Amino acid sequence: MISHEDKVLILGLESSCDDTSCAVLLNGKMLANIAAAQKIHEQYGGVVPELAGRSHQQNIVPVVDAALKEAGVNISEINAIAFTRGPGLMGSLLVGVSFAKSLSLALNIPLIEVNHMQAHILAHFILSPFDGAQGDKIKLQPKFPFLCLTVSGGHTQLVRVADPYTFELLGETIDDAAGEAFDKGAKILGLPYPGGPLIDKYAKEGNPEKFKFSKPKVPDLNFSYSGLKTSLLYFVRDHVKENENFVTENLNDLCASYQKTIIDILIEKLISAAEQTGIKEIAIAGGVSANSALRSAIEKTGKEKGWNVFIPEFQFCTDNAAMIAMAGYFKYLRKDFCGLDVAPLARWGVEKGI
Ligand code: KG4
Ligand code: ZN
């Protein structure tokens, strides 16, 4: 077992979708977290896997250089390389995995595979360089066991986290993810990709009670979002037949009402999961946790239910390498390393990988 007292520098690499990111963490404290977003996908209305892989190839070296420079760390000081093994787009993952293997071989340091969905959750443990320094308090972190609602572009999951190495999937989406509901809904409303942040923006000016969309009836702790997206499609189609300007005239109210339905579904399931498990330590994670209405809804529900609520900083909601390095640090403490024969996994359950 490696002691927490040792100085451990982890370099994290994230390339599962359309952000190329590199971070450097010193014992869980973030020294640098650099990401290159890929603008190219906007014109196609979604991530084009082939283009994402090519952009990662172009971005990865400059992004790693920039992270090391910002951290003020020489590459020879790094103790281990943590990388996203999956889940994600195969062509995108391949770039990060191959790069991580080469670095580990060249520097003769351990390689640590990280499950992207576990990393989103463990982002709650990333410390800033000021945490604990000069008498400052260390930021509050969820106590184990806690519940995490992970809402990203590809996943919607309710996870019971027993410790940094034990994840139990309590429920997940049976079709579209919450992030997809945002992005596909935005497309129906004529907004560019990724539509989630735009729906968030327009919804702030709209009335969430103006239009009603029916919620799916899914048993247990699973979710379903494809029906909601289709009901928005038919609703818009029917109204546009009568008034071709219906969407532009009602954009704010449409965004607010649609967003409210997405969030109500998430909150209802989260309440059920908290009641069923008796857990009151509640966290959210993933790209959709950047949504302002979801953040306030969780805060409000948390006050009503007596939960301790944990909401990530914006920089740790969407894909980032700091969360990969954090998950890598936990594994480093257990000397949980992988070999150079490791291959990316497009699908990889949140319970796996430890
Ligand atoms: O976690 P993430 O960066 O990537 C995946 O692992 O999928 O999540 C991306 C998703 C996209 O669907 C994007 O529209 C959504 O997060 N998103 C938002 C907001 N910011 C990002 N959705 C709603 N409101 C936001 N403010
Ligand atoms: Zn993600």
Give the chain's mean pLDDT: 95
| Contact 250 CB / ligand 1 (< 6 Å) | no
The confidence score (pLDDT) of residue 6 equals 81
Sequence ranges of the domains in the chain? 9-140+316-333, 146-315
DSSP 222-239: -B--HHHHHHHHHHHHHH
Q: Is the dihedral of CA 57, 46, 319, 40 positive or negative?
A: positive
* Closest ligand relative to 290 C-alpha: 1
| Contact 291 CB / ligand 1 (< 6 Å) | yes
CA of 48 to the centre of ligand 2 (A): 16
In the chain, % of residues over pLDDT 90: 89
Which tokens hold the place of 216?
């799916």
Alpha carbon nearest to ligand 1 atom 20, residue: 197
Contacts 24+ apart (CB under 8 A), 245-254: 247/189, 247/190, 250/210, 250/211, 251/189, 251/202, 251/206, 252/202, 252/203, 252/205, 252/206, 252/207, 253/206, 253/207, 253/210, 253/211, 254/189, 254/206, 254/210, 254/211
The C-alpha atoms of residue 112 and residue 119 are separated, in whole angstroms, by 12
The confidence score (pLDDT) of residue 37 equals 86
The C-alpha atoms of residue 22 and residue 221 are separated, in whole angstroms, by 34
DSSP 212-224: --PPP---TT-B-
Answer yes or no: are the C-beta atoms of 258 and 185 closer than 8 Å. yes
The C-alpha atoms of residue 167 and residue 206 are separated, in whole angstroms, by 38
In this prediction, residues 233-257 reach a mean pLDDT of 98
Ligand 1: which of 122, 152, 202 to mutate, judged by most atoms within 8 Å of the beta carbon? 152
Which tokens hold the place of 159?
């996870």
| Contact 152 CB / ligand 1 (< 6 Å) | yes
Whether residue 138 has pLDDT greater than 90? no
| Contact 149 CB / ligand 1 (< 6 Å) | no
Report which of 11, 38, 258, 294 is spatially closest to residue 150, judged by C-alpha positions.
294
**Which residues, including other chains, have CB under 8 Å from residue 111's CB and lie 6 or more apart?**
80, 81, 83, 100, 101, 104, 337, 338, 339, 340, 342
The C-alpha atoms of residue 354 and residue 351 are separated, in whole angstroms, by 8
| Contact 194 CB / ligand 1 (< 6 Å) | yes
Alpha carbon nearest to ligand 1 atom 1, residue: 287
The confidence score (pLDDT) of residue 133 equals 74
- A 10 A CB-CB count for 299 gives 13
Ligand 1: which of 84, 202, 318, 348 to mutate, judged by most atoms within 8 Å of the beta carbon? 318
Give the pLDDT band (50/70/90) at residue 5: low
Which tokens hold the place of 56?
């990662």
CA of 47 to the centre of ligand 1 (A): 12
* Closest ligand relative to 186 C-alpha: 1
- Between helix 292-305 and helix 246-277 the angle, nearest 10°, is 30
The confidence score (pLDDT) of residue 2 equals 57
Which tokens hold the place of 351?
């319970």
The C-alpha atoms of residue 289 and residue 309 are separated, in whole angstroms, by 12
In this prediction, residues 332-350 reach a mean pLDDT of 97
The C-alpha atoms of residue 75 and residue 9 are separated, in whole angstroms, by 10
Domain 9-140+316-333 shares a fold with domain 146-315: yes
CATH 3.30.930.10 fits 9-140+316-333, yes or no: no
The confidence score (pLDDT) of residue 132 equals 76
Whether residue 295 has pLDDT greater than 70? yes
In the chain, % of residues over pLDDT 70: 98
| Contact 290 CB / ligand 1 (< 6 Å) | yes
In this prediction, residues 289-314 reach a mean pLDDT of 98
H helical segments located in the chain: 49-71, 90-107, 116-122, 178-188, 196-203, 226-242, 246-277, 292-305, 321-333
Q: State phi, psi for 119 to the nearest 5 degrees.
A: -65, -40
Alpha carbon nearest to ligand 1 atom 11, residue: 153
The CATH architecture that domain 146-315 belongs to is 2-Layer Sandwich (3.30)
